[in-house]
Amino acid sequence: MNRAWIMFKSHPYISNVVGYTALFATADLIQQSVMGETRTVHKQDGVGQNTSIKRLPVPEDADTQNMTLYDPKVSQRRGIDWTQTARVALVGFCFHANINYHWLRALEKMFPGGGTKQILIKVGLDQLIAAPITISAFYIGLSTLEGAEDPLEDWRDKFWTSYKTGVVFWSTMQAVNFSLVPPVARTVYVGGVALIWTVYLCHFKQQKSNSLS
């Protein structure tokens, strides 16, 4: 363990960026494995009249005899989409890991120490500056890699909800980071916390915009 820590301290950039990217990609794998896929189903009443249309989780062994699928293009539950995970990893490596590494180092240089005032300033700046940038990069970056006709659509529909949720979640996590975690390991700590956060973002991104209203 001591040797691993020495190696980590000797190569902080590589250790933090690689660690963050691995955790970022793992979050998508967890989202795909746990959340699964959904498909649109439509039930009919006893006289053949339509009742309601909902996006419901449908297991592979579900009895769909009394269900009419209105959109055959919507996929059923399936295995891991490794292309999707690769896109998430690419966004995490090219942007999130690097910006977090340099951003956290800059904050520590400008406001060194773990006093209450310094922690509050760093948390506040993190949520006002870094949070909107990283959330925007996630939605716009993935939509661009997916070849979306409008790369800004998901960002417009989901940014504000994601940002409000993130302020509550990340303010607490970053307070712990700035007060207890050594500066050399802060990016990989953020990557560990981002494992949970990115599961949420990946799942939220897969939801149709009209189902959020």
Half-sphere exposure of 78 (CA within 13 A, CB side): 7
Residue type, 11: H
Residue 181: phi and psi, rounded to 5, are -95, 135
pLDDT at 162 over 60: yes
Q: Does residue 63 share a domain with residue 98?
A: no
* Contact by Cβ (8 Å): 131, 122: no
Residue 73 is assigned to a structural domain of this protein: no
Least confident stretch, 8-17, 91-100, 125-134, 199-208: 8-17
* Contact by Cβ (8 Å): 21, 92: yes
Q: Does residue 143 share a domain with residue 43?
A: no
pLDDT, one tens digit per residue, over 19-74 is 888 888 898 888 888 865 443 334 444 555 444 444 445 555 555 455 444 444 44
- pTM for this prediction: 0.70
User: Which residues form the domain of 124?
Assistant: 7-36+78-211
Work out how many domains the chain is built from and give that number: 2
pLDDT at 61: 54
Q: Does residue 165 share a domain with residue 88?
A: yes
User: What number is the average pLDDT over the span 207-212?
Assistant: 55
pLDDT at 10 over 90: no
Given the structure tokens 């417009």, which residue do they identify? 156
Q: Does residue 193 share a domain with residue 162?
A: yes
pLDDT, one tens digit per residue, over 41-55 is 344 445 554 444 444
Q: Does residue 151 share a domain with residue 86?
A: yes
